[in-house]
Each structure stands twice: as structure tokens, then as C-alpha cells.
Homo-oligomer: A and B are copies of this chain.
Amino acid sequence: MIKLAIIGTGNVAFHVAKAFQNSENIHLEAVAGRSPEKLEVFSTIPHRITDLKHLPQVDIVVIAVSDAAIAEVSRQLSGYTGLIVHTSGSSSMQVLEPHKHHGVFYPLQTFSKYSELNYREIPFCIEAKLEADFQTLEDLTSALGATSYSVNSDQRAALHLAAVFANNFGNHILTEAQQICEERKVSFELLKPLMEETIRKAFSIGPEAAQTGPAKRRDTSTIEKQLNALHDPEQKKLYTSLTEALLKHYER
């Protein structure tokens, strides 16, 4: 049985807490947060604390707060001697350096409060200063039924950046696509099979081999027609930037 505490009440904390609670081999002892209101959703967890001084003794403390707050939370845990990890993609492991036992437990996924997740399919990127702690993080991931990957801080930063492109930018492009559909009163839903196939193909034959469309085949007449069909200046700008990027990428 691994005893745990989570610090943080945001989306990652919420989902990680839920996953821990569903595991038979993990006991989530405490959740800590600054706001008593935000702690209310964690009502089934024994200790809900607003002052880190009251943190019970556990095996692992999981810091799931914003990047900017990790160092400060770490300082407040100066008396704690167990393993401390953070869940950030872009913060290095070093930020927890003052602690003898420290590491990273980064779930590579997008978290929204009201979206159910299948934890078995989330890759956990783990890193630890000491080999024995790495083993503990592997056990923690297994207890969730998930798969762990050994990823160092540089690689994790790259993965997080790649995830910003893939998820954040990819999702925003879908926002624009939805707006285009709505203007012509045609259902955005019709694009769902296309997008499922886009992802399937990109991860089977690779995104370069999967690339199609007017910019890939340098079909300037369609590009011009589509640019003229766009009225929103922001959409025109985005269409131009991405078309130029595609033309440049495939000019070789």
C-alpha cells in the first residue's frame, strides 16, 4: 500500500486524486490547497488541509500546482523527509533539489474537470534523483494500471512543447474550423470521422506521409479561392501562416 498526499486543487490534482482513489494499492491520505471551497470536491479523502504544516506522514507527496508555485510549495515542505514529486511538463526536476528524495510524475494528457479519462491509456513520464525512488514511481504508475516512461527533464520539456503544438494549437484550429462551419450552418460534427482518421494516420504512417491538401500539392488556385472565402481577418492570418509553413516544409 502506497500512502499519498496531493498538494493542489486544479484539474491535474482533481484527476490524479480520482485515479489514486480508484486504485486498490494506493491510499490517498490528504489533499492540500489554499482555498477551503476548492477542497470541498475532495470530501472522500481523510485529510483536507489548507496549511502544509498539518500534512500527515505519507510515502509520496505529489505537488500538482502551477509551475510558478512549485518552488514555494517545496520550501514549505522543508521538514518533510519522504519522496516529493511534481506533475509539471515544463518544470525541471531541479526545482525540488533541496529535498533528498525528489522526482517528477508527469501525466501526458489534457485534463478538464468534467471529462472522464481512461488512466490506463495515459503515459506517465517519470524521473527521480535516486534509483530507489524511480522504482517507487514505477510502482505508483503500475498501481494506476498505466504505463511509465523514463523521461529526463530536457526530454520532458520537449514533450510538453510538442504537446502544446499538438493539443493546444491543434485544438484552436478546430475552434476556427467550427466557426467556419457555423457561419454556413453546416454541422461541425461531420468533421469527427475525418479527425479520428487524421490522428490514426499520423500515428501509423507518420504525419509527413499523411499530409494532403492544397498547400502540400502546391495548388495555388484552391489556396487563393479559400483565402478569398475567409472573411475573419484572424482566420485569414492563420490560413496564410499555416499555408506558408506547409509550402516551405514541402518545397524540398
Contacts and interface: CB of A to CB of B under 8 A. Distances in A.
A242 B207 CA distance: 19
A158 interface: yes
Interface string A129-149: 000000000000000000001
Interface residues of A, number: 94
Given A125-B190, A193-B109, A157 B229 contact: yes
Interface string A142-175: 0000000101001101111111111111111111
A90 to B, nearest CB: 6
Copies of the protein in its oligomer: 2
Contacts of A188: 162, 203
A53 interface: no
A43 interface: no
27 contacts: A108-B194, A110-B212, A112-B201, A114-B205, A162-B191, A164-B213, A166-B173, A166-B195, A166-B198, A167-B194, A167-B198, A167-B212, A167-B213, A169-B238, A169-B242, A170-B174, A170-B195, A171-B201, A171-B211, A171-B212, A172-B207, A172-B245, A178-B206, A188-B203, A189-B203, A234-B248, A238-B241
